[in-house]
Amino acid sequence: MFKVTILGFDQAYASAITGVLDIFGLAGITWQRMQGQPIKPLFDVQIASLGGRQVKCINQLELSAHVAIENVTKTDLLLIPTIGGDPLEVLKNNVALLPHIRRHYALGADIASNCSGAFLLAQAGILDQRMATTHWGYAELFSTLYPQVDLLIDRLITEQDNIFCSGGGMAWFDLALLLIERYAGHDIATTTAKAHVIDLSRGEQSAYASLRTKKYHQDVEILTVQHWLEEHYAQKIVIESLAAKVNLTPRTFVRRFKRATDQSPLVYLQGVRVEAAKKYLEAATHSVERIVNLVGYDDLSSFTRLFKKHTGLSPSQYSKKFSR
């Protein structure tokens, strides 16, 4: 059997611990039992905490650890669950966990994090110069703290060498199914997904993200244009007219816009329009063709390509997934 160790700490997501316990613990069992096949447990799953202490999760549920992380000499997989509280506070309170993450990495264990659990991996230094993902809402904070990590925020899951990261808070089941397939094969992963009525693959997390416009800079003229674009995105817009609004030359305007927002004005406008289209699609009050016009485009096919680039879904797929 493969040994799976879930690292427990205060303010973790309870579901990212107990859910992983269930899905690994029942792989090779639930589907086989329902189909009248011989059951075969495949994973030995345990919660490990500092000193074997109880873990008080973010929802106030207290979980008993099976073992002290200090006493875990070998594991096939070390999994860090979602941080439910303030990541900076949790990092400060769990400095003593970092040597154990590094120790198991050095011993050759697979290391995996769910959502904001990636902060602990990055703080331990094992994500340096590697791909990673985390919750899209923490992208800016993560990039600021760990610029040496190749953060791919659109990805639901990243995998490099023996290190795995998954995105949003409930992406633990995507991560668990991927790892079950790694250890036990595609058939077991598929039957586990069927038994729990969950999708084997959900694509990217970009479909779930909302526009996070960079407005914490101090360039007043660029902030003025940003606010104007978010109110008038449906109009025909050219760089010269935007620059004129704040009495800048087009060249100076573009240079300052990029410096302030890390995006060109065109890319910024595209993001605003896609975000507006998402809200229309969620409301389901207009056809896709009408929505394309409402956000400032004439050509359905070109907007569909743009929308899919931003979200990973076509407008119709997005509507089916998120409309009321």
Structure tokens belonging to residue 27: 């792989």
Give the count of alpha carbons within 13 A of 196, CB side only: 22
| Angle formed by the axes of helices 172-184 and 15-25, nearest 10° | 30
- pLDDT at site 186: 86
Residue 124 has pLDDT above 60, yes or no: yes
- pLDDT at site 210: 60
Q: What share of the chain is helix, strand, coil (3-state, %, to 5)?
A: 50, 15, 35
6 in Cβ contact with 12 (< 8 Å) = no
List, in order of start, the domains of the chain with CATH numbers.
2-206 (3.40.50.880), 220-322 (1.10.10.60)
pLDDT single digits (tens) 225-252: 999 999 999 999 999 999 999 999 999 9
Residue 218 has pLDDT above 70, yes or no: yes
DSSP, residue by residue, 254-273: HHHHHHHHSS-HHHHHHHHH
pLDDT single digits (tens) 30-46: 988 998 999 999 999 99
Structure tokens belonging to residue 290: 């009408």
- pLDDT at site 213: 62
- pLDDT at site 321: 80
Task: Say if pTM beats, i.e. exceeds, 0.85.
Answer: no
Work out the average pLDDT over 53-70.
96
Residue percentage of the chain with pLDDT more than 70: 94
Work out the average pLDDT over 273-284.
90
Averaging pLDDT over each range in 70-84, 162-176, 278-292, which range is the top one?
A: 70-84
pLDDT-derived band of residue 209, with 50, 70 and 90 as boundaries?
Answer: low
pLDDT single digits (tens) 93-103: 999 999 999 99
Neighbour-count burial for 239-254, b at 16+ CB within 10 Å, e otherwise: beebbeebebeeeebb
- pLDDT at site 200: 63
Task: Name the average pLDDT for the chain.
Answer: 91
pLDDT single digits (tens) 190-203: 888 888 888 766 55
DSSP, residue by residue, 198-248: --S----SGGG--------S--HHHHHHHHHHHHHTTS---HHHHHHHTT-
Backbone angles phi, psi at 162, to 5 degrees: -110, 30
Which residues pair with residue 43 across a beta bridge? 2
